[in-house]
A and B are shown apart, each in its own frame.
Chain A
Amino acid sequence: MEKLYCKGGGCTAKLGAGILSHILERLPKQNFDENLIIGFDAKDDAAVYKLTEDVAFVQTLDFFPPMVEDPYTFGQIAAANALSDIYAMGGEVKTALNIVCFPQNSDLNQLGEIMRGGLEKVKEAGGVLAGGHSIDDVDVKYGLSVTGVVNPKKIYSNNTGKPGDKLILTKKLGVGIICTAARIGETDEETLNEAIDSMKTLNKYACEISKKYNIHACTDITGFGFLGHLLEMMDNDKSCEIFASQIPVFEKAKALADEFLITAGGQRNRNHVGDNVEFDNIAFAMEEILFDPQTSGGLLLAVDKDEANLLVEELRKANMPAAIVGEIKEKENTTIKVVNK
């Protein structure tokens, strides 16, 4: 089967955060609905709508162009990425719908493979594929619209962390840089496969483990990069210190960043975060990785400081490269300080 044509896919294809918030801010306000617990005003990972005191549904969708050449793998990654937003809200996946853009005159077996990969991940998530919508388009794009459920009292918001909380990251950073380098033949198979395994991994397992602990806030790391999503988590009323040497990173991504195999998305993220971050003598490659757009990145959890070590230990036992990467502080002038700890 032919390979998919990739021209900078995955979450590197996302519109910049800056340009997006300016457009969203200009939309007219809607009528207030008290059951919409989390809507787009909140810049959270997914929308949450309360049905009863104990049940709310979580809705999200995500789709993008291929970031890898193998259609089946692309399907798995796109689905894992879309499903992730449900886990970032602390929810459980129930149903999913396919979103497909595909050139009708090209090899339709590829589309079959993409959808097979997606279906496999929906099943693994414990959900059921219930339908979809497809468009004849010049470029391939695929993703899912996902609905899950959550107890409204146990939602993981992204901005409700508390000063003193430890921040835990559950996947390695650097997949955007690795996929970009792979596209122009600048990285080896082994590195790419390691990144692919990470992107295919559902955040379901991290989410399930985290529910035994006092999680105050959670988000998943995707297109806006680690620092972009962290900035949303701080929500202008908290600051944090990030320990650069503790952050789980694909080693090869550092070498590639030093060769400037970096994305436009990463630079857009740097522009968006701007003066809100201060780097204390951090190597260039590490800065780039912290801005690197991630496809199907890990969860970033704000957890009660007394439970952080236990949670990391349990995540690691389940084979996740989790680590305590920082802590939330009271609001200071600079929102994010990255230090060499």
Chain B
Amino acid sequence: MIKVNAIGDACPIPVVKTKNAIKEIGGSGVVEVSVDNEIAVQNLLKMAKQKDYEASSEKKSDKEYVVTINVAGEATADKAPQVKAAQVKSDEIKLKETIVVIDSDKMGEGDEEFSKTLLKGFIYALSSQDIPPAKIIFYNSGVRMTTEGSASIEDLKVLENAGAKIYSCGACLNNYGLTEKLLVGEATNMYNIVEYLLAADLVVRP
């Protein structure tokens, strides 16, 4: 494997360095590229898609992303497949790392049914915003919103498609017997939840 450090490089330098590394490994192998912005990630993934290389990306922090490109033996540099260019979704317009926390199946204190309706309205309104939050984290009875029987699944899918990551607390799902009934997003653990919340610019709790 070759590691390429393209932190601090403006486009198209990360792509140029990566192309050189791919040439260097010849035949097949893995190239791991570090960059400091999401646009560079998207340009690398676009190149990989055009060249038919397997590729994935991971955000290590706001200033470090790692793109892993797996060059298979048969794909050669001259091969230019007529694949449609990557329509990579961007969250670059997201100005801050905003996290919405939903820790109950109700919004505020009051009449039970009414409080549930309020929360459903909140999630709907959230799904109509121009800029989705970076993450929505559900814990305690909040996990009822991401599982079977929830009236907000469609709205949460809209948010997910717009780029919001949706997490439900795994222990909470387990406690309410909902582990097998998760319909949107993924389960996570308390360490991740703590990490996400500490790294957020803004945490919103309805």
Contacts and interface: CB of A to CB of B under 8 A. Distances in A.
A288 B86 CA distance: 11
Contact of B87 (A181, A264, A274): A274
A281 B42 CA distance: 21
Contact of B93 (A7, A16, A258, A279): A16
Contacts of B50: 260, 284
A184 B131 contact: no
Nearest to A287: B85
B112 to A, nearest CB: 37
Nearest to A261: B12
Nearest to A184: B16
A271 B88 contact: yes
- Size bin of chain B's contact surface: 20 to 34
Nearest to B91: A271
A22 interface: yes
Most-contacted residue by chain A among B50, B83, B85, B87 (CB, 10 A): B85
Nearest to A288: B85
Given A258-B80, A271-B42, A18 B10 contact: no
A239 B178 CA distance: 46
Interface in A233-267: 258-264, 267
B84 interface: yes
Interface in B122-149: 130-131
A8 interface: yes
A271 B11 CA distance: 16
Contacts of B37: 264
A211 B87 CA distance: 39
Given A184-B12, A287-B85, A260 B80 contact: no
B169 interface: no
A22 B15 contact: no
B75 to A, nearest CB: 15
B84 A279 contact: yes
Given A184-B12, A184-B13, A264-B37, A271 B90 contact: yes
A8 B42 contact: no
Contacts of A283: 82
A258 B11 CA distance: 15
A73 interface: no
B90 A22 contact: no
Interface string B69-96: 0000000000010111101111011010
A118 to B, nearest CB: 26
Nearest to B16: A184
Interface of A is mostly: helix
A268 interface: yes
Contacts of B19: 259-260
Contacts of B89: 271
Given A8-B10, A19-B93, A260 B39 contact: no
B12 A180 contact: yes
A283 B85 CA distance: 9
Interface in B1-52: 10-13, 15-16, 19, 37, 39-40, 42-43, 46-47, 50
B12 A262 contact: yes
Given A267-B46, A279-B84, A284-B85, A260 B90 contact: no
A7 B43 CA distance: 18
Contacts of B92: 16, 18-19, 268, 271
A95 B40 CA distance: 40
A283 B15 CA distance: 19
A22 B39 contact: no
Given A18-B92, A267-B43, A271-B88, A260 B12 contact: yes
A67 to B, nearest CB: 13
Given A19-B92, A259-B19, A262-B12, 8 more contacts: A184-B16, A262-B46, A264-B11, A264-B43, A268-B90, A271-B89, A284-B82, A284-B83
Interface of B: 10-13, 15-16, 19, 37, 39-40, 42-43, 46-47, 50, 80, 82-85, 87-90, 92-93, 95, 130-131
24 contacts: A7-B10, A16-B93, A19-B93, A22-B93, A22-B130, A184-B12, A184-B16, A260-B19, A260-B50, A261-B12, A262-B43, A262-B46, A263-B11, A264-B11, A264-B40, A264-B43, A267-B11, A267-B43, A268-B39, A270-B88, A271-B88, A279-B84, A283-B82, A284-B83
Interface of A: 7-8, 16, 18-19, 22, 180-181, 184, 186, 258-264, 267-268, 270-271, 274-275, 279, 281, 283-284, 287-288
